[in-house]
Chain A
Amino acid sequence: MPDQVQLRVDGKAVTVPAGATVAVAVALAAGFCRRSITGEPRGPVCGMGICFECRVMINGEPHCRSCQILAEANMDVRTNG
């Protein structure tokens, strides 16, 4: 298994260690995951799949909890998804 994984966050290439979650890639590339219904920026809070603040779109699938999903090569991640 390669020890680095490259993926895209909002079109920007980002490299994370193998085994890192998508939330880590988003933190490095964008700094936040989504806008709340009143427009506040939000990022991961619980880190364990419960708060849903880390939601992003992964390969076109909306509302994915980025803290529970491992980054994979060539994933297309969109914040605010």
Chain B
Amino acid sequence: MAETMRRNFDVLVVGAGPAGLAAATSAARVGAKVGVVDDNPAVGGQIWRGEVSKATSDASNWAAKLHSLGVEVICGAQIVHHDIASRVLFAETRFALLEIRFSKLILATGARERLLPFPGWTLPNVMAAGGLQAMVKSGLPISGKRVVVAGSGPLLLAVAAYLRAHGAKVLAICEQASWNSLASFASGLLSHPGKLRQALILQRQLLGIPFWTNSWPVRALGREALERIIISRNGTQREISCDYLACGFHLVPNVELASLLGCALEGGCVRVDDAQQTSVAGVFCAGEPTGIGGLELALIEGQIAGIAAAGKSERLRELRGRRRKAQQFARRLEKAFKLRPELKTLPDSGTIVCRCEDVTHARLARHSSWRDAKNQTRCGMGPCQGRICGPATQFLFDWDPGSVRPPLFPTRVESLASVSYIAPAEHSQLTGERQ
């Protein structure tokens, strides 16, 4: 049986991305005993993945700050279950179960990419855009490899610049949005000087890489792995040979944990008040789960949540002003990269939509709701628990994602057996989710 470790904090932060790091340091600085839990092997979240070991990086600066403030950081641990009424979360590592008690909780669980199915998208080396970047940050050699970056959103540019800087031949960036909507987004940057500066730096880094609007992948081809892709650009198709396709359609907030704890959602995001507190008293939320807003907003929201969770109020006024401004940018982002309806017609009848259970588009199209499709086809019942196919079917069929049930991630039998808070009747259902 897995060993059980117990911890107790004034403020527990879930997620060690920018929002979680800002929250933890802000709460610790005003005297709270703080703990941070993250699934990743190191702190930094998505944007600063793999940078903590570098001497002078944002991630290593934050890690040093956490250390000097006495914050306990637990990496490689996923929150899988809870007893929110008793203020306890359960996390699982590869070797142990953690029972973590807290007075206040801050959820900073970030976002993931929206992946949309098209024929061939399940071939090895067709990856999420940030997914390929994450693999390179984790040591995958990319030098000399031919990469097409596709999908939607500013992440495509960041990924293309990163891959190029590491030696990849980026053949093209294919953005589904139209030139017009991007142009009005770009002109809006004038009122956000920081963002404008970043955009100009990116532009320089991307010099010479074709940037195509009105463009998206329609088919990936290859035998055991990707060999070629077909791109539709302004209605004309062309074939490109490549080693990787890095493809993601903007981001979706990770609201599963918040939802499991009973926090109210609004428009797919966690609803928070002026102090970043959710509808559940004592549970705060910061960063992408409250709405996709990027790094700056994540840092501001994290600070507000940290200070408020520690029961203080200094600096909140100033931070709220900055938050309002950053939120305006987030709204522009959403509008500019809205998905076009043509993308709904990309999968053909045989295209797999649910990758865990290999459920095809034709089998799903017969059903009228996510719930119905789940019961009849096992779509969304595999180990990813609908994290990939949920947002896809929401876009393709307008299905509502429905409620989240524990455990949050597939979990080991023995660790759940040692959790006294779970009724025995739930066990078979829990472990049945495990492939």
Chain A residues close to B by CB (< 8 Å) = 16-17, 19-21, 23-24, 27-28, 31-32, 36-38, 40-53, 55, 61, 63-64, 67-70
Contact B388 A68 (CB under 8 A): no
Chain B residues close to A by CB (< 8 Å) = 39-41, 46, 49-50, 53, 76, 78, 94, 112-113, 115, 122-128, 130-135, 138-141, 224-225, 352, 355-358, 382-384, 387-388, 410, 434-435
In the complex, which residues of chain B have a beta carbon less than 8 angstroms from the beta carbon of A50? 112, 384, 387-388
Give B350 Cβ to nearest chain A Cβ, in Å. 11
Given contacts A38-B358, A68-B40, contact A48 B112 (CB under 8 A): yes
Give B203 Cβ to nearest chain A Cβ, in Å. 26
How many contacts A-B (CB < 8 Å)? Answer: 121
Given contacts A47-B127, A48-B130, A51-B355, contact A32 B224 (CB under 8 A): yes
Main secondary structure of the interface of A (DSSP, over half): loop
In the complex, which residues of chain A have a beta carbon less than 8 angstroms from the beta carbon of B127? 43-47
Q: Which of B41, B126, B140, B383 contacts A69 (CB 8 A)?
A: B41
Given contacts A17-B139, A50-B112, contact A45 B225 (CB under 8 A): no
Which of A16, A20, A44, A61 gathers the greatest number of chain B CB atoms within 10 Å?
A44
Contact A46 B382 (CB under 8 A): no
Given contacts A68-B76, A70-B41, contact A47 B383 (CB under 8 A): no
Look across to chain A and name the residue whose beta carbon is closest to the beta carbon of B134. A47
Contact A45 B383 (CB under 8 A): no
Contact B225 A42 (CB under 8 A): no
Q: Which of A47, A51, A63, A70 contacts B133 (CB 8 A)?
A: A47
Contact B224 A51 (CB under 8 A): no
Q: Would you list 29 pairs from A and B whose C-beta atoms are within 8 A, ordered by A residue?
A: A16-B139, A20-B139, A21-B135, A21-B138, A24-B140, A27-B135, A28-B141, A31-B224, A31-B225, A36-B355, A42-B122, A43-B127, A45-B127, A45-B355, A46-B127, A46-B388, A47-B131, A47-B132, A48-B40, A48-B49, A51-B128, A51-B387, A51-B388, A52-B356, A52-B384, A53-B355, A55-B383, A69-B41, A69-B76
